[in-house]
Amino acid sequence: MLRTTFSKRLFSQSMANQYKVAVLGASGGIGQPLSLQMKLNHKVSELRLYDLRLAKGVATDLSHIPTDSKVVGYSNAEPEGLAKALDNADVVLIPAGVPRKPGMTRDDLFSINAGIVRDLAEAVAKNCPNASICVISNPVNSTVPIVAKVLQKHGVYNPKKLFGVTTLDIIRASRFISEVEGTNPTQEKVNVVGGHSGITIIPLISQTNHKLMPKEVKDKLIHRIQFGGDEVVKAKDGAGSATLSMSYAGAVFADKVLDGLMGEKDIVVNSFVDSPLYKEEGIDFFSSPVTLGPDGISKIHPIGEVSSEEEALLAECKETLKKNIAKGYKFVEESK
Ligand code: NAD
Ligand code: LMR
């Protein structure tokens, strides 16, 4: 009996500690705390950190933490640094790119971040085409289609393993609704669908226990969830956007992806993915709940019942999403 329990424990430990995770942009405001949380994650056996600066320093720092994983830093200054970071990785987290300053929209980041994400996606296609790719770099509504197109160009696109990380909208919604309702945020779950920028972020309050909230309060709450990112950008006053809450959101999301790969049951997350939900309307990517499994996404769920007000928000969201996605596609098509 004791022996069985012992060997079971050994088995589950070895199963748990088996994934190679790469963080691209690992020395940044998100990258560092996200890498720390990945170092603390027992499902990770190897953590590869890549950045244009400081990745070796961050890796050496993290390598002193006594969890059972190896951490290595790679820079672009060494030959094949990026290729080595990605070699056969299971999960790739991408927070590389510039953040907003006050007065900017996420779309204003496109001119710089589109090229960064395209080039990193090329490297993923060559070195770990089977990886689950989690895109954090903004504008997510366009960077995810960019990655899809690059992978398609290389003939290795697997729509089940490409994710735009929208978890920050979910955690903000839990927090902000609890502030309005005087409840415990850990018990609040809001289905936030659509995309990840302003009016494309649609929190479905009608699906919560608080659907009878007065309209004025609800409208304010929806606006706060949609523009929560601006609150942080304004408060940081030119020094960037959300990094700590985002690293928490990214770590929660990555952990769920790893749970799925491990074959855990009923792992459902919201993510901006290649989705059939509104394809007929010309929208290839949409965030809704998805079930994760060993091969990535095993099911994409519809958004569920919505109120007439939410229906109107969705119509606006779809118009903007269509343009954001097309912009990403065009960028890759016009790249040499
Ligand atoms: P940051 O400037 O602090 O860090 C970005 C890092 O990326 C830097 O260390 C930089 O050296 C690195 N980098 C730049 N080009 C690179 C390349 N080609 N290869 C590898 N690394 C490269 O910025 P941040 O605050 O960490 O934000 C990063 C991105 O995440 C921004 O685009 C931001 O808008 C986005 N973001 C997304 C969400 C979300 O919910 N999806 C939330 C917050 C921020
Ligand atoms: C966020 O939602 O905080 C991020 O997308 C960063 C930003 O630019 O607001």
Per residue in 245-303, pLDDT (tens digit) is 999 999 999 999 999 999 999 999 999 999 999 999 999 999 999 999 999 999 999 99
When pLDDT is averaged across residues 71-91 and rounded to a whole number, the result is: 97
* 270, two tokens: 């919201």
Binding site for substrate: what residues are annotated?
A: 100, 106, 138, 172
* Residue nearest ligand 2's atom 7 by CA: 229
Q: List pLDDT tens digits, range 173-223.
A: 999 999 999 999 999 999 999 999 999 999 999 999 999 999 999 999 999
Binding site for NAD(+): what residues are annotated?
A: 25-31, 51, 113, 136-138, 246
**Ligand 1 shell residues, CB under 6 Å:** 24-25, 27-31, 50-53, 95-100, 109, 113, 116, 136-138, 140, 165, 168, 196, 240-243, 246
Q: Are 284 and 275 in contact (CB under 8 A)?
A: yes
- For residue 325, is pLDDT > 80? yes
- Give Cβ neighbours of residue 36 (< 8 Å, ≥ 6 apart): 62, 65, 247
pLDDT value for 20: 98
pLDDT band for position 14 (50/70/90)? low
- For residue 10, is pLDDT > 80? no
pLDDT value for 219: 98
pLDDT value for 17: 72
pLDDT band for position 336 (50/70/90)? confident
User: Strands 201-203 and 132-135, how do they pair?
Assistant: unpaired
Residue 326 to residues 52, 144, 238, 265, 320, Cα–Cα distance (Å): 29, 11, 29, 35, 10
Per residue in 215-254, is it b (16+ CB within 10 Å) or e — as a string? Answer: eeebeebbebbbbbbbebbeebeeebbbbebbbbbbbbbb
3-class DSSP string for 61-111: HHHCCCCCCEEEEEECCCCCHHHHHHCCCCEEEECCCCCCCCCCCHHHHHH
**Helix H segments across 17-78?**
31-39, 55-63
Q: Average pLDDT of the chain?
A: 95
- For residue 4, is pLDDT > 70? no
Of 143, 226, 228, 227, the C-alpha closest to 192 is: 226
Angle at Cα 45 formed by Cα 39 and Cα 47, nearest 5°?
Answer: 50
Distance, CA of 15 to CA of 70 (rounded, Å): 16
Quick check: is 196 catalytic? yes
When pLDDT is averaged across residues 305-320 and rounded to a whole number, the result is: 98
Distance, CA of 241 to CA of 235 (rounded, Å): 9
What torsion, rounded to 10 degrees, do the Cα atoms 21, 253, 280, 294 define? 60
Query: Regarding predicted confidence, which is higher, 52 or 11?
Result: 52
**Probe residue for ligand 2, chosen from 232, 244, 324 as the CB with the greatest number of ligand atoms within 8 Å:** 232
Report CA(25)–ligand 1 centroid distance (Å). Answer: 6
For the chain, which domains are there?
Answer: 19-166 (3.40.50.720), 168-326 (3.90.110.10)
**Ligand 2 shell residues, CB under 6 Å:** 99-100, 106, 138, 168, 229, 232-233, 241-242
Angle at Cα 175 formed by Cα 145 and Cα 171, nearest 5°?
Answer: 25
* Residue nearest ligand 1's atom 42 by CA: 246
Q: Which of 42, 64, 196, 223 is catalytic?
A: 196
